[in-house]
Amino acid sequence: MTGIAIDLSGRTIVVAGAGGGGIGTATANLLTNAGATVVGLDIDADRLARADVAVARVVDLRDPDAVEATIDGLAALDGLVHVAGGLGRDQWAPTEQVSPGTFDDVLALNLRAALTTSQAVARRLRAAERPGSIVYIASIAGLGALPYGAAYAVAKAGLLALTRTQAVEWGPVRIRVNAVAAGTVRTPKSEAGRATDQPDEVATIPLQRRATADDIAAAVLFLCSDLATFVTGHTLVVDGGASVKPSYVDADNLPVFVRDPEVRARIKE
């Protein structure tokens, strides 16, 4: 197949968490470049100004009434990309020390906000009898574990379960629901004061680098497009292979139990 171009002209897509210069901004910019009318939502007007969006709305995504009012006020709607989430530096802690308040705060942004925003979008789509696409930005933490980030891992695992459940429920009304499980990503927030990946940061990644925000946005673009019209309930892992690299592979990318020097040398030729 050659000459394929993704054209989202005529479609209005909400990007929840479009500000900040990271995944949300990259996603908004890429969807706009593909011809979509992008509605950017963010809690911070200055952050939102960094994104190339047709419509900018300042809203706290943790407030379901404010979100629904914003969604209901849109002239048209074809889809949602829910990006907002994260784990604050003060929210990292051993599991036995995570307070109920911190746990609730992390779930409120990473899971509950995704639920309530998608509910508002789905109601609009169903009322208009329009097909649509919902994409959640999840994390490989939801597929495995995140030591000292229990609340975040739980929220992202829940987001993947929500993806599958909504895909089954909303499939009959032609609303597709998918997720992108991101690995470690270079963003302005994560890269403050650093220019390059450190060796220990990429040692567990077969492709030997961390993702860029554009890598994640490209996966979102595919899932929003007509190339994915028969894809729903799926989690697209974008982590450079990190989640499939076995723990028993050493720094030479060989199984640790292969100790024979001759065999190791032959394999590495």
pLDDT of the residue at 3: 60
Q: What is the pLDDT of residues 181-204, one digit of tens each?
A: 999 998 877 666 556 677 777 888
Domains (ranges, CATH) in the chain? 12-267 (3.40.50.720)
* Contact of 220 with 14, CB cutoff 8 Å: no
1 pLDDT more than 60: no
Mean predicted confidence (pLDDT) in 93-103: 96
Q: What is the pLDDT of residues 53-89, one digit of tens each?
A: 999 999 999 999 999 999 999 999 999 999 999 999 9
Say which residue the tokens 């650093």 belong to.
Answer: 194
Mean pLDDT computed over every residue of the chain: 94
Task: List residues with catalytic annotation.
Answer: 152, 156
DSSP 160-227: HHHHHHHHHHHGGGTEEEEEEEE-SEE-TTTTTT--S--HHHHTT-TTSSPEEHHHHHHHHHHHHSGG
pTM to 2 decimal places: 0.93
Q: For residue 3, what are the CA distances in angstroms to 6, 7, 148?
A: 10, 12, 46
